[in-house]
Amino acid sequence: MKADRLLSILLLLQTRGRVPAHELAERLEVSVRTIYRDVEALSASGVPVYAERGRHGGIELLAGFRTDVTGLTADESRALFVLAAQGAHAALGLDEALGSALRKVMAALPAPHRPAAEVTSRRVLVDASRWKGGPRQAVDLEALQDAVFADRRLRLSYRHSGAREPSTYTVDPYGLVSKAGVWYLVADRRGKPRLFRADRVRSATVLHDTVKRRPGVELADVWEVLRRQVEERPTGIDVTVRVRRAYADMFLRLQAAWLTALPEGGPDGGPEGDGGSEWLTAQLSYGRLGEVRGLLVFADRLEVLSPPEARAELAAAAASVTELYQR
């Protein structure tokens, strides 16, 4: 919209001073001719803006003119520019809006705080994605967003982990949560809190029915309940392992989610012991027995010591792999 573009031009000039017309055109994705027409419109509306042609020319506001918003401290100004990863804004279709908002905020900051905020935006980057997380299925958040902001119920076709066919649910959404780069829909189903991974939603239909949330309950309240349910889930099986000292770093990195006791003499500051043993002992806790199969990635660099059923589970898995490759 032209009004948005005029405001963007005003704020860019207020922040940067003199700016070449071609640079404004590139930033706002319009022609140079359009920029000059916008400058004329700003001037006609009373904004003291002028253009200087030539090699070192550009468009500039009259010295001393500015719109100002005061009241922000230096730390508050810097905090505004430490934002979530761009991927989160892209998933919500807000990348362009974010850039526009930051320009407006930068121009509105008190002059003494502006340099610190600009340095913060260039020196601090938040990337919520995991290292080597592998390819992820594309996530379409449009219908989920529509229901959340319109306060409408949702009908989901949702495939649970390990299920071959999706299930159908009618839910009352509270909102969307991005955790470690993964989007979740937080909703009630039949009055009970539920968590749905957005990348497992096969289809979502926004219904005409108004959402039915529990009175006085907000997104943050439901998320806290669900988060605790996941993190405080009762453990299914405790496993004792020994891992070769040379692979302790890799073991800690890959098994951190299940580790309940650091290996003695490990790289994270555990007791050194005599330091002469090739093996380190550690404690793990899994939700179910089958999860111990993930330890096969260590091959002969790790041995399960107890319980017997965990050793039997790994032995059976190893035998199946051996049989597969000996055909």
Rounded to 5 degrees, φ, ψ at 303 are -130, 135
Host H or E run for residue 316: helix 308-325
For 68-102, letters b (16+ CB in 10 Å) and e give eeeebeeeebbebbebeebebbebbeeeeebebeb
Task: Tell me how far apart the alpha carbons of residues 126 and 82 are, in angstroms, rounded to a whole number.
Answer: 7
- % of the chain residues with pLDDT over 70: 76
pLDDT tens, residue by residue, 161-208:
767 889 999 999 999 988 877 889 999 999 899 999 988 899 999 999
Task: Tell me how far apart the alpha carbons of residues 289 and 275 are, in angstroms, rounded to a whole number.
Answer: 32
Residue that is written with structure tokens 């380190």 in the block = 280
The whole-chain average pLDDT of the chain stands at 80
pLDDT tens, residue by residue, 82-130:
654 455 666 666 667 667 777 777 776 666 767 777 777 666 666 666 6
Q: Is the backbone of residue 269 left (phi > 0), alpha (psi -120 to 50) or beta?
A: left
Minimum mean pLDDT range among 59-63, 137-141, 251-255: 137-141
CA contacts within 13 A on the Cβ side of 33? 0
Which DSSP category does 275 fall into?
A: S
pLDDT band at 235 (very low <50, low <70, confident <90, very high): low
**Mean pLDDT computed over 77-86:** 58
Which DSSP category does 183 fall into?
A: E
Instruction: Tokens for 229, please give them.
Output: 């349910």
pLDDT at 119 (0 to 100) = 73
Considering 42-56, 85-99, 313-327, the range whose residues carry the highest mean pLDDT is 313-327
* pTM of the complete model: 0.52
pLDDT band at 70 (very low <50, low <70, confident <90, very high): very low
pLDDT at 257 (0 to 100) = 80
